[in-house]
Copies of this chain bind each other. A is one copy, B any other.
Amino acid sequence: MSLVEDVLLGNRLALARLLTQIENGSETGRKALDELFAHAGKAHLIGVTGAPGTGKSTLVNQIARAYRNPAAGPPRQVGIVAVDPTSPFSGGAILGDRVRMRDLSGDPGVFIRSMASRGSLGGLAAATSGVVQALDAAGFEVILIETVGAGQAEVEIARLAHTTLVIEAPGLGDDIQAIKAGILEIADLLVINKADRPGVEASERALLSMLQLAHPKAHVFRNNFSKPGHFSETVETAQAEDQCIPPVLRTTATDGSGILELSEAIEQHRQYLERSGELAHRERERLVAELNLLVRELLVSRWRERLPDAQYHGFVARLVQREISPWQAAQGLLEASTAGA
């Protein structure tokens, strides 16, 4: 039986092996992805991102547990992909992972995979996308994609998700304005975690005023987890009025406060995506972004294969001597590789 068939039948060991092949960008992994692609497209892909220190890993654990023990309905199969664009370590070497393992391991309905930097951002995003696709095809119904930080890397990885959660925490300092400006574009839900800490009111006010600045005509609602039931109405109202406004929720992942409300908000976002036709739109955007990433990687590797080393080093030498500018060198290299093709 092939690796792909094993994966489709739910063999965890086969899945783990396949993910390694995909991460390494091997031919086996690539071909398996081609086969699996037709089986994927069913999972709800949830991106979770935010600055360091916001407690993302603990929050992701809690969300996974909520899907495993839902208030209503059957438990869901949950995949977790933890992506760290800043770390050269992979495969469970990341600190937050050990904590996670202790918490969720042994549950056959949860599959956890850590991914680290593959040298280039494009490479990491492409590998992440492949891993998510394989988990999707393997039958995981909810896939949580967690990234550290809030830079361009995270924005590219967030494009892989249907629903994106941006996590904040009180008192992260003066750069917070700059982060939010970029984050507003990608967030479907804003979460202030560590909501038991001082400064939560100020963080929430800052977030809400940023949101109002960005959407001057819209009303912004917030989740108040002391009033159960309140949030579910307001999210739908807000989304009906302006689909761009991310609701702001408070959680304390360490004691579980607000997790139920967060899970409901995620589920409502998914329902909203389906009802509005936005899901199909996002799925398309997601696939196009992935395609563009792959094209970029392929263009660079094919160009480099076509170009003789001597020519590359010749241009580099003239560049280092400042005889030609970087732009002139780049133009020259492209012409050289085209001529040689």
Contacts and interface: CB of A to CB of B under 8 A. Distances in A.
Interface of A: 30, 33-34, 37-38, 40-41, 51-57, 84-89, 94-96, 117, 120-121, 124, 129, 148-156, 169, 171-179, 181-183, 185, 283-284, 287-288, 290-291, 294-296, 298-300, 302-303, 315-316, 319-320, 322, 324-331, 333-334
8 nearest A-B residue pairs (beta carbon): A53-B173, A86-B182, A151-B151, A52-B175, A37-B325, A294-B330, A121-B152, A152-B153
Contact of A181 (B41, B86, B156): B86
A56 B178 CA distance: 13
Contacts of A33: 325-327
A30 to B, nearest CB: 6
Given A96-B174, A174-B55, A117 B152 contact: yes
Interface centre among A52, A85, A117 (most CB of B within 10 A): A52
A320 B287 contact: yes
A152 to B, nearest CB: 4
A257 to B, nearest CB: 18
Contact of A175 (B56, B178, B327, B328): B56
A330 B86 contact: no
Contacts of A52: 51-52, 150, 172-173, 175-176, 178-179
A37 B326 contact: yes
Nearest to A37: B325
Given A94-B178, A124-B152, 19 more contacts: A33-B327, A34-B325, A34-B328, A52-B175, A52-B178, A52-B179, A53-B176, A57-B175, A84-B178, A84-B182, A88-B181, A88-B185, A96-B174, A148-B175, A291-B315, A291-B316, A294-B330, A296-B296, A296-B300
Which of A37, A302, A303 has the largest count of B CB atoms less than 10 A from its CB?
A37
B334 A178 contact: no
A208 to B, nearest CB: 17
A87 B175 contact: no
Nearest to A316: B288
A283 B41 contact: no
A150 B334 contact: no
A298 B330 contact: yes
A241 to B, nearest CB: 23
A95 B334 contact: no
A313 to B, nearest CB: 10
A190 B207 CA distance: 31
Q: Which of A87, A149, A156, A294 has the most B CB atoms < 10 Å from its CB?
A: A149
A98 to B, nearest CB: 11
A340 to B, nearest CB: 14
A333 B334 CA distance: 19
